[in-house]
Amino acid sequence: MSDHGQRIDKMSIRFERLLPGPIERVWAYLTEPEKRAEWFAGGVTEMKTGGRAEFIFNHSALTTPDDKPPKKFEAFNKEMRFEGEVLEVDPPRLLVWGGDDGDDYIETRFELESRGDKVLLTLTETKLSSPSRVIGNAAGWHAHLELLSAKLAGEKPAPFWATHARLGEEYEARWGAA
Amino acid sequence: MHSAGLDHTLLALADPTRRAIIARLEAGEARVTDIAEPFSISLNSVSKHIKLLERADLVRRRKVGREHFLSFNAAPLDEAARWIEEKRAFWTSRLDALEQALLEDDAKRKRKRK
């Protein structure tokens, strides 16, 4: 299993992570605001199709004060709130969120499957609108998943922004101008 | 009296995420995808904020092929600033008048006591 995301088609990416279980614990990290805020974004997820999916990002809280964001993200290195939609939910196995922007109907799908005392997380993001979005979101999800893996394993995560920048270059090298 | 424009301006500004988007546009034009870049979520979620900024005419959109470029437009701030200044001036003058009345009252009492 590679840590790097796979490009399953031109506009879709997939990540797999074998995480410490049990499955309910990983599910809580996907759906409970305080737990999800530790690795991605807080916010309430309504557990029904068509429900509200709130995302409260605070990137500065994900890392140490000396790990600075790139200049272009500086204005956003504080609390930023967004809202999406729950497309499918089946606890504790499946959560899909997304939303339609005319040009961009992104779907983010989390699937969980017990593997002994571990849990296989499969994250698939489809219908990204441009090659730059594919690279940007791959770097973003990879960096967030590094935090999730570290949290669940009880390890200290690497600095978020430094990891994000390194991954951005790696995905650009793999998929850029392709 | 004020126009619906003022409502839209104040509503658009009454949100820290939208103010951060305005701050980002101070560095120059940006695509919707640039705004969304640090957040692994759908553009739709970002677009909801941008639509409110566009309705207030604080953000303008320029299309080049499939790319949408956004820029900040400061003009609606004039009306909001004018409204705030009018209210500030009105209440400052009222409070000045109140202060004056209290001082005069004070002076009268002192004269009576003599």
- CB count within 10 Å of CB B84 equals 11
pLDDT at B1: 46
* Minimal CA separation from B56 to chain A, in Å: 19
The residue of B26, B31, B42, B51 whose CB has the most chain A CBs within 10 angstroms, and thus the best one to mutate to test that interface, is: B42
Asked if the ipTM is above 0.85, the reply is: no
- pTM for the structure as a whole: 0.86
Structure-block tokens of residue A88 = 């499918």
Note whether B33 contacts A99, CB cutoff 8 Å: no
Q: Give percent of chain A with pLDDT exceeding 70.
A: 96
Are the C-beta atoms of residues B40 and A133 closer than 8 Å to each other? no
Q: Does residue A55 sit in helix, strand or coil?
A: strand
Q: Give percent of chain B with pLDDT exceeding 70.
A: 96
Note whether B17 contacts A105, CB cutoff 8 Å: no
| B38/A128 Cα distance (integer angstroms) | 15
pLDDT at B73: 96
Contacts of B16 in chain A (CB under 8 A): 78-81
Looking at 3.40.50.360, 3.40.50.620, 3.40.50.1220, 1.10.10.10, the CATH number of the domain B3-73 comes to 1.10.10.10
User: Letter for the amino acid at B41?
Assistant: I
Dihedral angle over CA of A147, A150, A155, A156, nearest 10: -10
Over its C-alpha atoms, chain B yields an Rg (Å, rounded) of 23
Residues of chain B with pLDDT under 70: 1-3, 114
